[in-house]
């Protein structure tokens, strides 16, 4: 009897094993849904990455244009501007008294009237 019981347990176990190994339709649909969700997430991540790369390229192009528009950098001179802070020195031009200028002008006028 004991042998029969062991044989019966073995038969039940053998019969139950394929049933446990079988996947139900619900589980298959659930796995497909999970795969589709994973694909959508991968596509969404790929799109976000591509959008970020495009934004980075656009920002770099904008920075390049701004740098070109600014022109070349001119180095600063190591010395100070000579027009700032320099003392004003008035030149000493030769001066002539007014009487001497008037006398010279009179002689030029007389010479211009007495032409030959």
Looking at residue 101, what DSSP letter applies? H
pLDDT for position 2: 56
pLDDT for position 49: 97
CA distances from 13 to 2, 3, 22, 51 (A): 17, 15, 14, 56
In a domain, 106, yes or no: no
24-70 confidence digits (pLDDT tens): 999 999 999 999 999 999 999 999 999 999 999 999 999 999 988 88
pLDDT for position 6: 58
In a domain, 95, yes or no: no
Give the structural domain span for 36: 25-70
In a domain, 61, yes or no: yes
Q: How many structural domains compose the chain?
A: 1
Question: Which position has the token pair 């001179």?
Answer: 77
Q: DSSP 3-state assignment of 110?
A: helix
pLDDT for position 88: 72
**In terms of C-beta density within 10 A (0-12 exposed, 13-18 middle, 19 or more buried), how is residue 65 classed?**
exposed
pTM exceeding the 0.75 threshold for the entire prediction: no
């Amino acid at each position: 009897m004991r042998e029969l019981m062991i044989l019966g347990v073995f038969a039940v176990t053998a019969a139950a094993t394929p049933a446990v190994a079988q996947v139900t339709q619900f589980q298959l649909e659930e796995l497909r849904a999970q795969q589709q969700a994973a694909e959508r997430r991968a596509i969404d991540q790929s799109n976000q990455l591509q959008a970020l790369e495009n934004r980075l390229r656009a920002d770099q192009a904008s920075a390049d244009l701004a740098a070109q528009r600014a022109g070349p950098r001119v180095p600063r001179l190591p010395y100070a501007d000579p027009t700032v802070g320099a003392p004003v020195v008035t030149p000493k031009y030769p001066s002539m008294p007014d009487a001497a200028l008037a006398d010279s002008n009179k002689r030029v006028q007389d010479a211009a009237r007495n032409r030959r």
